[in-house]
Every structure is written in structure tokens, then in C-alpha cells.
Amino acid sequence: MRDTVLVIEDEYNIRKIVCDYFRAEGFHVIQAPNGKEGIERFEEEKIDLIILDIMMPELDGWTVCRRIRKQSDVPIIILTARTEDDDELMGFELKADDYVKKPFSPGVLVARAKILLNRARGTILEDKEKMIKAGIEVNKSERKVKVDGKNIELTPKEFEILGYLMEHSGIVLSREKILDSIWGYNYFGDIRVVDNHIKKLRKALDDKAYLIRTVFGVGYKFEVKE
């Protein structure tokens, strides 16, 4: 049985090329020229994968992604001509699975799509509840953290901050973003609460504290040197 991909893209030439490549690889393709029609097609059909543009009429890609995520964990690849890191971060915060900047190679896009579908089926082993980077292991389901195999104690907020930084490894996260993600948008306290918790988290991580870098004037980044 063929996989069905929904391509939501308002630019005709790009939509046609993407659809042609997926058809050539044996996919059943459904297309939509705007966000509103994209949601309608999604609700009418059994979709295995979504290719989603951001800047569209009717409804933008962020809104479409947000609505779909309320009812499904179908793999989503976001396409955009925008290059700001904040846009990429927004895509991952809305739980998109991949983010491709225009111009892009249609062949590479199809290859990424196949990897996502394999992961969704479990043919690629991926424990989303556990992250291991540079000797730090975060187990979300058990709410446990190990450093070089030894359990360490963290407060709930320290645990959430560490997980958030590791999930966005290599990306600079502003204090505001950390505050909004961990404390919520309705928190109106002092933003320095982020710095205080980072300080305590680094102390708990001991000789792994260097992995949490301070980016002066901006925020923090979890960085693993290759």
C-alpha cells in the first residue's frame, strides 16, 4: 500500500515539482494551494506525511501545523523561504518533525520524508523519551537524569530546562524563550529566575556544566563539541 503525502504549498511551480518527485518515488500525492484547503484535505483523507509551506494565503503554515498537532502526530516537514533561527525554532516548538529552507533539492526532501516515515513506523529505533548527549542522559518518562551513568538530583524546573536545552542542542535560546517554555506565557516574574536556575543546574552537572554555554546579551545554548 502506497504512502500518502499531502503537499500544502501556494507557489504552483514548487508544488508541482515536489508532487512530481514524490509520485516518481511511488507516493500517492494530494495537494492544496493554501492552508485552509490543506486542513480540509487532511480531514478528508488518510495522510501519512505532510509537506507544509509557511507563508500562504487563507491560513499560514504555523496555524495549520498547530491545528493538525491538536489531533494528530503525522510527520510534518516545514518548507520556508525565511532564514531566521526564530522561525526554525518555532517550527520545532510546534512539533514539526523537520525544517527545510528554500531553495532545496526535491530529491533530498523525498529522502528526508522516507526517513521520517520509517521512524514513525518504528523501523528506525528512536526512544523519544530518552536523550543522551555527551554523557548526560535525560529520561523524560522516569524524570531521571544521569551524568556518566550516575543519577543526579534536579528540581522539576532544572529538569525541564535541561531537557529543553538538549532538545534544541546547538541553538541559542533567549532567556525569554526559556521563560515562556518552562514557566509559561502567563508568568510575569523576574526574568533573572532563568539565570538562577541555570546556575543551580550547572552546579548539579558538575564537570559537565561547560556544555551549557552563556551567549552574552542573548541567553544560553547546549553545545557539544564534535
Homologous superfamily (CATH) for 4-121: Response regulator (3.40.50.2300)
Decide which of 13 and 117 is more confident.
13
Q: How confident is the model over 165-195, as pLDDT tens digits?
A: 998 888 889 998 898 888 876 777 788 899 9
Cell numbers describing residue 217? 546579551
CB half-sphere exposure, 152, CA atoms < 13 A = 24
Distances (CA, A) of 101 to 77, 89, 91, 204: 10, 13, 12, 38
Q: How confident is the model over 16-31, as pLDDT tens digits?
A: 999 999 998 899 999 9
Task: Write the class of the CATH domain 130-222.
Answer: mainly alpha
Q: pLDDT band at 124, cuts 50/70/90?
A: very low
The most confident of the ranges 30-39, 97-106, 110-119 is 30-39
Q: Is the peptide bond before 33 cis (omega within 30 degrees of 0)?
A: no
CA proximity to 155, closest of 181, 134, 189, 182: 182
Q: Considering only 91-105, 130-144, 174-188, which range has the smallest mean pLDDT?
A: 91-105
Residues with Cβ within 8 Å of residue 88, at least 6 apart in sequence: 99, 171
Q: How confident is the model over 58-69, as pLDDT tens digits?
A: 888 889 988 998
- Cα gap 100→119, rounded to integer Å: 18
Residue type, position 131, single letter:
M
Distance of CA 121 to the CA centre of its chain: 18
Decide which of 130 and 126 is more confident.
130
Residue type, position 100, single letter:
V
Query: What residue spans define the domains of the chain?
Result: 4-121, 130-222
- Cα gap 48→27, rounded to integer Å: 10
